[in-house]
């Protein structure tokens, strides 16, 4: 039996992240990145937001959203570097940078969400 | 006279040339002439030394693929009049080494095609005396689309990854592997998975999607690859989570 | 056979700017570049969560910070990239997923449509939660 | 440098690949070479649309298939070969199913069959209307799994190496590099397909130049029944693209400019709304093409820029049926004629399609030269007689490809001796090619000579012929042979020199054209596809016989006749439409 690479698993993470980020990030980015800063809508009170974030389900969803989106980005960015800049020969560095970043980001995200409560 | 169109044809002679050059020819272009008719006119009447491949002139043998005004096309299914008033530029297919004029080396393509084991694999042959394998029209439809590939290589010429990454198996070969995987009579998907999933086979594809856009037979190799990735990934996940169930 | 590796065949290397050669390639690269902006937005949201966790003051600080013009511009650009990502993603999804209902493949546009529906519902849910339902 | 194999196949079409697979499966230690001037999957088998005949239904019988074939061939078929053929055909088609060929199916999953011209029962297997394409790709992909099959892709065979009445191999040019090599073998099978390009208006691809017929003829093997050329009644004007007979089998009508189903005037039955087997539009091809000529004479055809046409009417079949069973026809009409058969009439006219004659072989594909075999359209076994029935030839390439493969493998296993004389011959051939086909700028253009040959053939050896036109044509062809000696070659590169190949192909076609014209001239009767205006009746007394044409050392031809093998079906009148 031939060896198995982890490429398929990375691809699964990429895909899941693609769905998660497409479903949830636009709304969040629209609200917090554009609508509140520009004053189109008034931001929710701290108390309300805290309550929402403290809900275990929200924390779970946010964790997966952060982690998967990071892996999504890492994977896609890796291939953009390969193909766009034609630096496939540097793949070890690129991999370390991309997925390493995603792992660090995910751990940070988990820590953040954990320590609020 | 404006009943002629200028064809700028790429020329390359390995004996002398270091680079492609372009030669211009004026050819007639009646409504029913395809680009290939223009090339044949050049070869027969103007310049016998032009080299290119063709055979069926009905879009089925897959030999006449070239780059027409930057797009990969079957020259026997692309009408000259659509490019009026011209000029129309004819170059060899991209992403393949050029042997001569409009002729490219297809060796890489053929090797990759063979590597995915594109034939029916059975654990046990059914004896002829037992008749046919039953296959309902719906079962046939599962793989039919992927069996329509004429090996014209337009998809590979359109795919940047095929040009950038020499390891990438390419859209046509993967679609063909998928054709057999989805055929109910076949039992070889595991074997093909080993070939495809364990190296650059499919993971190099970043879903540029151009392959499906240029395919003259609507094979949709891009779709085949994504579907295949999903199957391969699920398969990996299973053997990752349940290693004891591995084959 | 020796001719397979013939040195005299003409090989044109891909140009570094190949993705400028066709509009569809450019669209592809833009789609891929969305990854950078998604990564940024994740960081941005994580900062938000941190601020919320640290109390009202730091939440207000975050709100002020996020209203700085440069940041707003960055976020508008990022938002357009994620939306581009979302649209291409939902449009292409039917290619990877062939769903069969009663032995017949569900047409691609229906799958895409159901994706868009899910997107709308998810966005509505987010807005409802954030804005205080 | 020389390459040696046990069996060498010239041609990678359906017949060649079937033979290769047969040998690889039965004799895995034999080394098999497939030498083909195009990549195998580009071979012209790829363009066959309609289907392949083989009895599978319970209400059908082998005898009926044999009878349809024999009467369709106007009793010129060898009946022992036909009986063997109809018996083996279903097994061959089934074998292809086991290799993955995507045959069209009935709702319950069984193989579906359709009606075809001249066949009294539904027995034509099909894969929508791309049957040849699917068959060829299935065979090609299957052949990839055998290590003992060595492919010489894009190698062009220029000569058979013969010593003392036995064939030892070939000389071929590798297109990519231009090198000329001898490839020797214990046995050689010619599978080079037909020669439609001898005519100007044909369904045949650019590669169908009668190469194998000329190779065998020059090597001393006789060609059989070369005067029988099939015109297919429904080709698209200008391109000659074929509109498959399956359109009529599914219920299409042929109508003239007055909207009449004119076939009723030519003894082909009465018009019925639904297709009736062996009647009207489902009559044999020779009769339908002849009826077209008569309609033109009566002024009932429609004039177009590309000559007179009649119309094929599919409109009443409906979009759903057309999409399901004839999608390629719709695609071709839309692409090349800008016509949608769902709502519009398709203009069609007879077009040169198939060669009944070819290298004379026995039932095992053996020719009169030891070690030389032939199978497929290049061969004349003969099961097609004076007129081939549609869908018999895709089955023929399988049945006789396999048989020739077995016979050649056996021969090669028991004849392992080699000849040194042929290496000297190969050296001579190399010199000839180098001198003869290198740059020469003074003479006439290849295309001009080719056009003249094609025009001559159309005018004198078309659907109707006469002694006068044929003997004139013989003179013209003779003269063209002379002029060919100084033909212009502008290309002096060794690499992928397609002009040199075109010149060699023209030489083959001139040989074949001569044999056609001379065979037709000698046959003073009308039978099947050979219609003489000066001898309008069939003459079983003198011509219930195969024409065998030999090449004399001085280049002239000698014709002799060989009796037809009759087993159970004595010659009778051909009756259709009842
Ligand atoms: C448009 C069309 C539709 C048809 N439809 C049907 C149908 O529905 N049913 C049916 O039964 N029949 C049909 N036929 C007929 C049938 O397809 C052919 O008779 C059959 O495919 C011939 O197969 P083959 O293997 O003999 O030759 P081909 O497939 O023509 O192969 C010839 C091979 O020989 C090689 N070759 C030739 N010369 C040389 C050389 N000098 N050196 C090296 N290699 C050489 C070529 O490269 C090629 O590989 C159709 C034919 C046409 C043209
Ligand atoms: S998938 Fe389409 S484009 Fe690619 S080789 Fe096959 S037919 Fe040609
Ligand atoms: S163009 Fe190339 S990257 Fe994938 S989707 Fe098609 S193979
Ligand atoms: S010549 Fe055959 S596909 Fe164009």
ipTM attached to this prediction: 0.93
Q: How far is CA D69 from CA B218, C111, D117, D131, D259, in A?
A: 38, 52, 11, 20, 31
Same domain, D344 and D446: no
Burial D111-149 (b: 16+ CB within 10 A, else e): bbbbbbbbbbbbbbbbbbbbbbbbbbbbbbbbbbbbebb
pLDDT value of position D437 = 74
Q: How many CB pairs under 8 A join C and D?
A: 5
**φ, ψ at B12 (rounded to 5°):** -155, 125
- Does residue A2 form part of some domain? no
Domains of chain A: total: 1
Q: Residue D152: which of D20, D48, D15 has the closest Cα?
A: D20
Distance from the Cα of residue D415 to its chain's centroid: 31
Cα distance between residue D30 and residue D123, in whole Å: 36
> Is C126 in contact with A46 (Cβ distance < 8 A)?
no
Six-digit token pair at D1? 């440098």
Q: Is B156 in the pocket of ligand 3 (CB under 6 A)?
A: no
- Does residue A3 form part of some domain? no
The CATH number of whichever domain residue D265 belongs to comes to 3.90.700.10
Domains of chain D: total: 2
Cα distance between residue B212 and residue B217, in whole Å: 9
Q: Among D307, D333, D350, which residue terminates a domain? A: D350
CA of B178, nearest ligand number: 2
Helix (H) or strand (E) holding D34: strand D32-36
Task: Domain C1-80: give its CATH architecture.
Answer: Up-down Bundle (1.20)
Cα distance between residue D421 and residue A76, in whole Å: 65
**In which domain, by residue range, is A77 found?**
10-115
Q: Residue D5: which of D18, D23, D26 has the closest Cα?
A: D23
**Closest ligand 3 atom to Cα of B226:** 5
> Is D111 in contact with B186 (Cβ distance < 8 A)?
no
In a mutational test of the C interface, the residue from A11, A13, A32 whose CB has the highest number of chain C CBs within 10 Å is A32
User: To the nearest whole number, what is the mean pLDDT of chain B?
Assistant: 92
- Does residue D111 form part of some domain? no
Six-digit token pair at D150? 């060595």
Q: Which of B167, B177, B209, B212 to mutate to test the pocket of ligand 3 (most atoms within 8 A of CB)?
A: B209
D533 touches chain C (CB under 8 A): no
**In which domain, by residue range, is D456 found?**
440-538
Domains and CATH numbers, chain B: 4-104 (3.10.20.30), 107-246 (1.10.1060.10)
Sign of CA dihedral D5, D8, D11, D17: negative
Q: Which of B10-19, B153-162, D392-401 has the lowest mean pLDDT?
A: B10-19
**Does residue D542 register a pLDDT over 60?**
yes
- Does residue D160 form part of some domain? no
- How does pLDDT run across D26-84, given as a tens digit for each residue? 999 999 999 999 999 999 999 999 999 999 999 999 999 999 999 999 999 999 999 99
Q: Among D315, D350, D385, which residue terminates a domain? A: D350
Region of residue D280 (left: phi > 0; alpha: psi -120 to 50; beta: else): left
Q: Which of B197-211, D103-117, D230-244 has the lowest mean pLDDT?
A: B197-211
CA of D336, nearest ligand number: 4
- Does residue D412 form part of some domain? no
Six-digit token pair at D395? 């089955």
**Closest ligand 1 atom to Cα of D156:** 42
The CATH number of whichever domain residue D446 belongs to comes to 1.20.58.100
- Does residue D3 form part of some domain? no
pLDDT value of position C1 = 34
pLDDT value of position C104 = 76
DSSP β-bridge partners for residue D52:
D125
- Does residue A45 form part of some domain? yes
Same domain, D346 and D246: yes
SS3 for D549?
strand
- How does pLDDT run across B153-199, given as a tens digit for each residue? 999 999 999 998 888 999 999 999 999 999 999 999 989 988 887 66
Cα distance between residue C17 and residue D332, in whole Å: 38
Known active-site residue D232: yes
Q: Cβ contacts of residue D219 below 8 Å, gap of 6+?
A: D159, D160, D162, D167, D369, D372
The CATH number of whichever domain residue A66 belongs to comes to 1.20.1300.10
pLDDT value of position B196 = 83
- Does residue D4 form part of some domain? no
Q: Among D320, D350, D380, which residue terminates a domain? A: D350
Q: Is D204 in the pocket of ligand 1 (CB under 6 A)?
A: yes
Cα distance between residue A103 and residue D300, in whole Å: 80
Sign of CA dihedral D456, D459, D460, D462: positive
Q: Is the peptide bond between B87 and the residue preceding it cis, with omega within 30 degrees of 0?
A: yes
Known active-site residue D29: no
> Is C28 in contact with B209 (Cβ distance < 8 A)?
yes
């Amino acid at each position: 039996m031939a060896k198995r690479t982890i490429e398929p698993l990375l691809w699964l993470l990429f895909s899941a992240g693609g769905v998660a980020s497409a479903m949830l990030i636009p709304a969040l980015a629209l609200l917090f990145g554009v609508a509140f800063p520009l004053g189109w809508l008034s931001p929710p009170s701290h108390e309300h937001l805290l309550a929402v974030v403290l809900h275990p389900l929200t924390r779970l969803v946010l964790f997966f959203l952060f982690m998967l989106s990071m892996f999504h980005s890492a994977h896609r960015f890796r291939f953009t570097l390969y193909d766009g800049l034609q630096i496939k020969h540097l793949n070890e560095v690129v991999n370390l940078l991309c997925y390493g970043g995603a792992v660090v980001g995910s751990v940070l995200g988990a820590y953040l969400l954990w320590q609020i409560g | 006279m404006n009943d002629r169109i200028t064809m700028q044809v790429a020329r390359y002679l390995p004996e002398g040339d270091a680079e492609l050059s372009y030669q211009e020819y004026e050819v007639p272009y009646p409504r029913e002439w395809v680009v290939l008719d223009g090339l044949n006119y050049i070869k027969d009447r103007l310049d016998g030394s032009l080299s290119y491949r063709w055979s069926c002139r009905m879009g089925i043998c897959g030999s006449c693929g070239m780059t027409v005004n930057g797009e990969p096309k079957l020259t026997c299914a692309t009408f000259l009049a659509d490019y009026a008033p011209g000029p129309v530029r004819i170059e060899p297919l991209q992403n393949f080494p050029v042997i001569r004029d409009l002729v490219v080396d297809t060796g890489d393509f053929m090797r990759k095609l063979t590597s995915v084991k594109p034939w029916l694999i059975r654990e046990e042959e059914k004896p002829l005396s037992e008749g046919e394998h039953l296959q309902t029209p719906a079962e046939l439809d599962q793989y039919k689309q992927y069996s329509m590939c004429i090996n014209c290589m337009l998809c590979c010429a359109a795919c940047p990854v095929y040009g950038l990454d020499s390891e990438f198996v390419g859209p046509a070969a993967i679609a063909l592997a998928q054709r057999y995987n989805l055929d109910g009579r076949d039992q070889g998907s595991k074997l093909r998975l080993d070939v495809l999933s364990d190296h650059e086979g499919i993971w190099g594809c970043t879903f540029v999607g151009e392959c499906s856009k240029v395919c003259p037979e609507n094979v949709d190799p891009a779709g085949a690859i994504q579907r295949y990735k999903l199957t391969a990934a699920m398969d990996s996940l299973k053997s990752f989570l349940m290693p004891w169930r591995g084959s | 056979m020796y001719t397979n590796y013939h040195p005299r065949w003409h090989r044109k290397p891909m140009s570094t700017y190949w993705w400028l050669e066709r509009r569809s390639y450019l669209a592809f690269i833009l789609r891929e570049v969305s990854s950078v902006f998604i990564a940024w937005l994740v960081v941005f949201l994580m900062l938000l969560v941190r601020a919320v966790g640290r109390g009202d003051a730091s939440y207000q600080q975050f709100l002020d910070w996020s209203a700085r013009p440069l940041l707003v511009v960055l976020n508008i650009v990022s938002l357009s990239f994620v939306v581009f990502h979302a649209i291409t993603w939902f449009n292409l999804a039917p290619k990877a997923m062939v769903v069969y209902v009663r032995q017949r493949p569900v047409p691609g546009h229906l799958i895409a449509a159901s994706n868009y529906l899910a997107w709308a519902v998810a966005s509505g849910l987010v807005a409802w939660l954030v804005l205080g339902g | 440098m020389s390459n040696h194999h046990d069996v060498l196949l010239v041609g990678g079409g359906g017949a060649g690949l079937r033979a290769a697979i047969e040998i690889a499966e039965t004799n895995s230690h034999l080394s098999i070479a497939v030498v083909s001037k195009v990549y195998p999957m580009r071979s012209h088998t790829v363009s066959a649309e309609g289907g392949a005949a083989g009895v599978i239904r319970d209400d059908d019988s082998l005898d009926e298939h044999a009878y349809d074939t024999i009467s369709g061939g106007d009793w010129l078929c060898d009946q022992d070969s036909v009986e063997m053929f109809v018996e083996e055909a279903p097994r061959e088609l089934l074998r292809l199913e086991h290799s993955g060929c995507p045959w069209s199916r009935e709702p319950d999953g069984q193989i579906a069959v359709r009606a075809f011209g001249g066949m009294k029962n539904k027995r034509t297997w099909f894969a929508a209307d791309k049957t040849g394409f699917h068959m060829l790709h299935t065979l090609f992909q299957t052949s990839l799994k055998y290590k003992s099959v060595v492919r010489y892709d894009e190698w062009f065979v220029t000569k058979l190496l013969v010593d003392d009445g036995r064939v030892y191999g070939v000389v071929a040019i590798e297109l990519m590099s231009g090198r000329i090599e001898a490839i020797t073998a214990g046995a050689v099978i010619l599978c080079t397909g037909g020669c439609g390009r001898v005519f100007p208006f044909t369904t045949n691809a650019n590669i169908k130049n009668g190469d194998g017929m000329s190779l065998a003829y020059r090597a001393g093997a006789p060609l059989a029944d070369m005067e029988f050329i099939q015109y297919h009644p429904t080709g698209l004007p200008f391109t000659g693209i074929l509109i498959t007979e399956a359109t009529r089998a599914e219920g299409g009508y042929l109508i003239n400019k007055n909207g009449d189903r004119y076939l009723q005037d030519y003894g082909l039955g009465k018009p019925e709304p639904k297709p009736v087997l062996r009647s009207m539009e489902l009559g044999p091809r020779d009769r339908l093409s002849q009826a077209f000529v008569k309609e033109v004479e009566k002024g009932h055809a429609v004039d177009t820029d590309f000559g007179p046409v009649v119309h094929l009417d599919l409109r009443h079949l409906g979009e759903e049926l057309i999409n399901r069973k004839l999608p390629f026809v719709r695609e071709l009409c839309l692409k090349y004629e800008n016509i949608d058969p769902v709502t519009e009439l398709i203009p069609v006219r007879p077009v040169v399609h198939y060669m009944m004659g070819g290298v004379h072989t026995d039932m095992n594909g053996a020719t009169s030269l030891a070690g030389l075999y032939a199978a497929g359209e290049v061969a004349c076994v003969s099961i097609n007689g004076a007129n081939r029935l549609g869908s018999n030839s895709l089955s023929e390439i399988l049945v006789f490809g396999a048989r020739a493969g077995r016979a050649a493998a056996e021969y090669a296993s028991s004849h392992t001796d080699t000849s040194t004389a042929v290496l000297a011959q190969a050296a001579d051939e190399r010199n000839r090619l180098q001198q003869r086909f290198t740059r020469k700028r003074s003479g006439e253009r290849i295309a001009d000579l080719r056009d003249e040959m094609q025009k001559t053939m159309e005018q004198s050896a078309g659907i109707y012929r006469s002694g006068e036109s044929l003997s004139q044509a013989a003179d013209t062809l003779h003269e063209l042979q002379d002029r060919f000696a100084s033909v212009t070659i502008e290309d002096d590169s060794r690499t992928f020199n397609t002009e040199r190949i075109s010149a060699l192909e023209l030489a083959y076609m001139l040989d074949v054209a001569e044999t056609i014209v001379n065979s037709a001239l000698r046959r003073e009767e009308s039978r099947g596809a050979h219609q003489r205006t000066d001898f309008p009746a069939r003459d079983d007394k003198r011509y219930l016989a195969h024409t065998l044409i030999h090449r004399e050392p001085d280049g002239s031809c000698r014709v002799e006749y060989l009796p037809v093998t009759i087993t159970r079906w004595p010659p009778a009148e051909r009756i259709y439409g009842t």
